[in-house]
Chain A
Amino acid sequence: MTTTTLKEPLRGSPAGAATREPRRRTGRIRRAGLPYLLLLPALILELLVHLVPMVIGIVMSFKELTQFYIRDWGTAPWTGLGNYKVSVDFDAPVGEALLHSFFVTVAFTLLSVGLCWLIGTAAAIYMQDTFTGRGLLRALFLVPYALPVYAAVITWVFMFQHDNGLVNHVLHDQLHLTDKPSFWLIGDNSFYALLTVSVWKGWPFAFLIVMAGLQNIPGELYEAAALDGAGMWQQIRRITLPSLRPVNQVLLLVLFLWTFNDFNTPYVLFGKSAPEAADLISVHIYQASFVTWNFGTGSAMSVLLLLFLLVVTGVYLALTSRGRRTGDV
């Protein structure tokens, strides 16, 4: 945006425009080329680290890559769209299971992202006021985010255990909320166990980002609003949330992608075969490829997942940036 304002006076100057044109053009090319030059190392590494494995993954999805061929991929027969057909044939068991897993993941992601955002934002707003112990609380809130995932989730596994777990001890033994101890790691409750851990792990990130965003809102806005008689809710609705819009836009997208793709949490909680109620798509694909040794189908599922996320991201960005442009005017 700033470059156009800089260029305006140049273009407007009438003197010697014709004679200076070539030099200006090479200069412009050089100036335009510099960012690409600077980006080159990153680009090359990006190609190596991300795009090459991705392309291999996409190639794999067109092959029948079972245990008989993994030793020498080249000999695996091409199946064309065979793996994709199996994956999206929702009347057959494989496709049906994938669809089920997809819906579970969508529900889980919406709930988890929503709760993470809500808790994170609420905490960040409360933490705006200065009070004793604020620094300590802020640090404490960030602990789940700072802990290594594996260690944190394993601790949750212990807490969710049926016989000796802390959760049942509190809910059943002490508060008597349930008739008998519940199972959290198997059966239908596993969805809530997974959601709990995911929100516990994810909200500090929302908290951190929103807190940073709040620092940029000028205090005068609140003072002026207070003078005009706006209450706390009105201030949040009319000042805080609109000002946080750009932050939230990125935050929600990142949380969505992380949660949708989360592998570590369900894998550590449930192991190789997750209960149906908590069969997230990442673990499902892992199982489709590693546990059943069918890497072609697994890759096809990954590519489908990739396409879905691309579409969601594209639509989301299109919608939110259009909304913002009209908002700016």
Chain B
Amino acid sequence: MRSIRAAAVGAVTVSLALAATACGGGSSNGGGSNDSPKTLTYWASNQGASIAVDKKVLQPELDKFEKQTGIKVKLEVVPWSDLLNRILTATTSGQGPDVLNIGNTWSASLQATGALLPWDAKNFAKIGGKDRFVDSALGSTGAAGKDPAAVPLYSMAYALYYNKQIFADAGISKPPATWDELVADGKKISAKGKSPLGAEGSNLSENIHHVFVFAKQHGGEFFTADGKADFTNAKVVDAVKQYVDLMAKDKVIPTGDAEYAQNQSVSDFAKGKQAMLLWQSASANLKSQGMSPDQYGIAPVPVQSGTPGTGTQVNSMVAGINLAVFKNSHNLDGAAKFVKFMTSDAEQKILNTAYSSIPPVRTAQTDAAFNSPANAVLKDTLAKSAAALPQVADESQFETAVGTAVKNLFADVAAGRAVTTASVKAALEKAQQQMPAK
């Protein structure tokens, strides 16, 4: 009796213990086909202010596509918090969408899984050729020397958004062009009782995007030329410290932002509580939060000195969304047609306008719709002073490890602990140890 009960409890224990961690699924066996030519499943990333907004933007276009080709597209908009997990699960099980959006920084990591259709010359020919896309966007589609894992869909860049009224009240006539100017302006803004700059201290991706640019400006790289993690070199340490010091030493980022991870800093800016925001293509988001375009100005992200450009004058990552085809698709031809449709000039204009992003397609980019002052800054940044995040297979792990290190450093600042070169180096050392040993 006792042994039966023990066995029963044991079984319950076993199931409880593994319930949280067990992973089901099976292995997939290779390539796709054209077995179901009449339907496609499309996973879109959440580009608009909400999932409902995305559906409203995309559905009419999908209807157009159905009218042209007779292929019905089943749309699912996947929130960012789930997208990568969903893709991993789909990769593991072989049961996924036909076409999907990926964050362009994931390209090399997902490319390594082999789940995405490589865009070789033959596949590119189906959508009008590789030359249709601008180089900066193509630079973020997979590891160098390999066929791209995806094609660019929307391009974005970071810019400095500033509240015109707060700047006028603080007696600031033009947006800061260097970090020193930004810190000096921050002091004037603080004196007026507003918070100078926002940040998402607990958002790993945001942290990575910023420290990547700071590292560039210090002439540092997170990875060596042969793809090894090198987080503790002096230039990277200085770069990370400079970013965290915006909160710790310069006090332009309020300590409360250390726990922000849900775009609260965008809301703070939209509500007029905060003077500046470093964000990618924020116009549509700000509009949906009730801030009209004439209330804010857009300027390039500051540099250390001089003007934005290449090398140490980089002031943004190449941000954007790529469109990928799942290798296991049962409608490979239809998927290619859909990619062609989505990257056509007409659709590029419609979609990038709706999402306030820049078309990565050359011919669409020249359209008058993308010549507004806001888009001019973004377009200029993308063309001249944006750099792609490391295109290495470990990119996803890098985002997590270093993003967490920066998050913990912000938490230290919030808790009143000092942030020193040594403590930054220690945090980065720990991040580096978490990277796959290879």
Tell me the minimal C-beta distance from B135 to chain A in angstroms: 27
Grouping DSSP codes into helix (H, G, I), strand (E, B) and loop, the B interface class, with mixed when no group exceeds half, is helix
CB contacts (< 8 Å) of B113 on chain A: these are: 67-68, 70-71
Q: What residues of chain B lie closer than 8 Å to A257, measured between beta carbons?
A: 12-13, 16-17
How far apart are the CA atoms of A1 and B401 in the complex, in Å?
Answer: 57
A57 near B112 (CB under 8 angstroms)?
no
CA distance A181 to B92 in the complex (A): 45
Q: Find residues 294-329 in chain A having any chain B CB closer than 8 Å to their own CB.
A: 294-295, 298-299, 302, 305-306, 309-310, 313-314, 317-318, 321
Partner of B14 from A50, A187, A285, A291 at Cβ < 8 Å:
A50
Query: How far, in whole Å, are A275 and B409 apart by their CA atoms in the complex?
Result: 11
- Closest residue of chain B to A66, judged by CB? B436
With a CB–CB cut-off of 8 A, which chain B residues contact A187?
A: 411-412, 414-415
CB distance from B95 to the nearest CB of A (A): 12
Contact, CB under 8 Å: B202 / A186: yes
* B430 close to A93 (CB less than 8 A): yes
Using known A-B contacts A53-B23, A282-B20, determine if residue A70 contacts B92 with beta carbons closer than 8 Å. yes
Cβ–Cβ < 8 Å partners of B256 in chain A: 162-163, 181
Asked whether any CB of chain A lies closer than 8 Å to the CB of B363, the reply is no
B33 contact set on A, CB distance < 8 A: none
Residues of B within 8 A of A97 (CB): 434
Q: Does B5 contact A (CB under 8 A)?
A: yes
Which of A1-47 touch B at CB < 8 Å?
1, 46
User: Would you call B91 an interface residue if the criterion is a C-beta within 8 Å of the partner chain's C-beta atoms?
Assistant: yes
Collect the chain B residues with CB atoms within 8 Å of residue A54's CB. Answer: 14-15, 18, 22
B1 contacts A1, CB within 8 Å? yes
**A50 is contacted by which of B15, B29, B91 (Cβ under 8 Å)?**
B15
B-contact bits for A163-187, CB 8 A (1 contact / 0 none):
1000000000000000001010111
Q: How many residues on chain A are close to B (CB under 8 Å)?
A: 63
Whether B114 pairs with A71 at a CB distance below 8 angstroms is yes
Mask for A242-268, Cβ within 8 A of B = 1, else 0? 000000000001000110010100000
Q: B414 near A183 (CB under 8 angstroms)?
A: yes
Contacting pair B202 A298 (CB below 8 A): no
B189-221 CB mask vs A (1 if < 8 Å, else 0) is 000000000000110100000000000000000
Instruction: Judge whether B173 is part of the interface by a CB distance below 8 angstroms.
Output: no
A94 pairs with B434, CB closer than 8 A: yes
**B18, A306: Cβ atoms closer than 8 Å:** yes
Complex Cα spacing A313 to B23, Å = 24
Q: When A70-B91, A71-B92, A310-B14 are in contact, do A186 and B115 touch as well, CB less than 8 Å? A: no
A265, chain B: closest CB distance, angstroms: 12
Task: Given A71-B114, A186-B259, A187-B415, verify A261-B19 contact (CB < 8 Å).
Answer: yes
**Selected contact of B18 from candidates A92, A93, A253, A302, CB within 8 Å:** A302
> Per DSSP, are chain A's interface residues mostly helix, strand or loop, or mixed?
helix
**A73 interfacial contact with B, CB 8 Å:** yes
Question: How many angstroms between the C-alpha atoms of A70 and B85 in the bound complex?
Answer: 13
Q: Is B258 an interface residue (CB 8 A)?
A: yes
- Choose among A57, A276, A290, A302 the residue that contacts B408 (Cβ–Cβ < 8 A): A276
B109 proximal to A (CB < 8 A): yes
- Which has the most chain B C-beta neighbours within 10 Å: A56, A57, A273, A305? A273
CB 8 Å contact bits of A204-224 with B (1 = contact, 0 = none): 000000000000000000000
State the CA gap A290–B94 with chains docked (Å).
Answer: 17
Contacts of A135 in B (CB 8 A): none
Shortest C-beta distance, A85 to chain B (Å), equals 12
Closest to B415 in A: A187
Per the bound structure, the CA–CA distance linking A162 and B268 in Å amounts to: 14
Which of chain A's residues have a CB closer than 8 A to the CB of B1? 1
CB of B109 within 8 A of CB of A273, answer no
The yes or no answer to B372 lying at the interface (CB within 8 A) is no
B396 within 8 A of A: yes
A287 to B255, CA, bound (A): 26
Inter-subunit contact A273/B28 (CB<8 Å): no
**Could you tell me the distance in whole angstroms from the C-beta of B247 to the nearest C-beta in chain A?**
13
Residues of A within 8 A of B14 (CB): 50, 54, 306, 310
Chain A, 274-295, contact with B by CB distance < 8 Å: what is the 0/1 string? 0110000010011101111111
Beyond A56-B24, A273-B400, A286-B20, list 7 extra A-B contacts (CB 8 Å): A67-B113, A74-B27, A93-B433, A162-B255, A257-B17, A298-B21, A305-B17
Seen from chain B, the residues whose Cβ lies within 8 Å of a Cβ on chain A are 1-2, 5-6, 9-24, 27-29, 81, 85, 88, 91-92, 94, 109, 112-115, 201-202, 204, 255-256, 258-259, 261, 393, 396-397, 400-401, 403-404, 407-408, 410-412, 414-415, 430, 433-434, 436
11 sample A-B contacts, Cβ–Cβ < 8 Å, listed by A number = A68-B112, A72-B28, A186-B202, A186-B407, A186-B410, A188-B415, A257-B16, A287-B400, A299-B21, A306-B14, A310-B13
